[in-house]
Structure 1
Amino acid sequence: MSETFETIRYTADVVVIRGEEVLVIERGWPPHQGKLALPGGHVDPGETSLAAAARELLEETGVCINADALTLVGVYDRTDRDPRGRYVSVAYAVTVPEDTVARAGDDATAVRWVPLAQPGELAFDHGEIVHAASRRPLVR
């Protein structure tokens, strides 16, 4: 009997809510280069998904939050969610003040605030994540 191993990459995504808007980035790299997505990325060795979410948010948007402010939205592990292979993402949400300003950095070529109720077409399964976050009473 042979064993088959699958490489699984561990990532974190963040739904940042400001009033009735959600923060998205324009991806600077494939896959989905040029498309809108949630801030997020790989969990580094020795790092928790919570710490990675706060770090990636800061690196990609300049928005600094305390990781303890993040609320779990869910774990996303559909096998076809990323064309690069198997990615499992832990998604978090946070509400920020109305005067929060974001700027593009790291993997993001641009940032923008889009309507939370209608964020438009997002890369990967990020539309599903935004929808789930928008229904959570702890986030609003």
Structure 2
Amino acid sequence: MTLYQNTPTVVVVLVPIGGGLLMIRRALPGKGQGKLALPDGYQMLGQKWQAAGAAEVLEETGVALDPTSLRLVTIVTTPELRQNLLFYRSPSVARPGTFAHDDEVSEVLMIHQPVETAFPLHTEQVRTFFGVP
């Protein structure tokens, strides 16, 4: 029997809101704890990419998105070739959702200029979102 090691797919969503960009502060122990990141999560078996992205945004921020409204921005493989990141952009959202802190996210906030995030690939997309090379 052959065992395959498949590359996991992570869906990352850029959500424009109030002239800024929706971000989370990671609460999970390990890489990126306490740092800002874009809402993201793994695509589960039997789940479409867009549905995974909308579900993660709702879970992490309280913002409800229509999965069919998400538009692909880019697909990037991490430098160590361990994950594929699918970056999507949602239409602009009028206001933040209702969020209760949990084990994964300690804060939901909006940024209005590029910031350093927990992950270099997120930082790159945040810079592109704000038009900064």
Q: Match for residue 83 of structure 2?
A: 87
In the superposition, relative to structure 1, how do residues 28 and 72 fare at CA in structure 2: closer, same or farther (>3 Å)?
same
- In structure 2, the CA distance between the partners of 1:12 and 1:88, relative to structure 1 (3 Å rule), is same
Q: Matched residues, percent identical?
A: 33
What SS is found at the alignment partner of 2:96? coil
Equivalent position of 1:14 in the other structure: 13
Conserved? CA contact 2:41–2:52, under 8 Å: yes
Q: CA, structure 1 residues 105+88, in 2 after alignment: closer, same or farther (shift >3 Å)?
A: farther
SS at structure 1 position matched to 2:8: strand
Corresponding residue number in structure 1 for 2:117:
122
Conservation of the 8 A alpha-carbon contact between 1:9 and 1:86: yes
Cα distance in 2 for residues equivalent to 1:97 and 1:42: 23
Q: What's the CA shift string for 1:81-125, capped at 9, x where partnerless?
A: xxxx7111111011333333452555211110001xx23111211
State the TM-score, normalizing by the size of structure 1: 0.79
Question: Secondary structure of 2:13's match?
Answer: strand
Distance 2:33 2:14 in 1: 19
Q: Tell me what 1:98 maps to.
A: 94
Match of 1:138 in 2: none
- Aligned counterparts of 2:59 and 2:47: Cα–Cα separation in 1: 15
Q: Which runs of 4+ in 1 moved over 2 A?
A: 95-106, 130-135
**What 5-or-longer segments of structure 1 have no aligned partner?**
136-140
Q: TM-score, normalised on structure 2? A: 0.83
Structure 2 regions of 5+ residues with no counterpart?
none
**How many residues are treated as equivalent by the alignment?**
127
Q: CA 1:134/1:48 → structure 2, altered by over 3 Å: closer, same or farther?
A: farther
Q: Is the 8 A contact 2:114 2:130 kept in 1?
A: no
Alignment of 1:1-140 (within 5 A): 6-29=5-28, 30-80=30-80, 86-101=82-97, 103-106=99-102, 107-115=104-112, 118-124=113-119, 125-134=121-130
CA RMSD of aligned residues (A): 2.3
CA separation in 1, counterparts of 2:90 and 2:98? 14
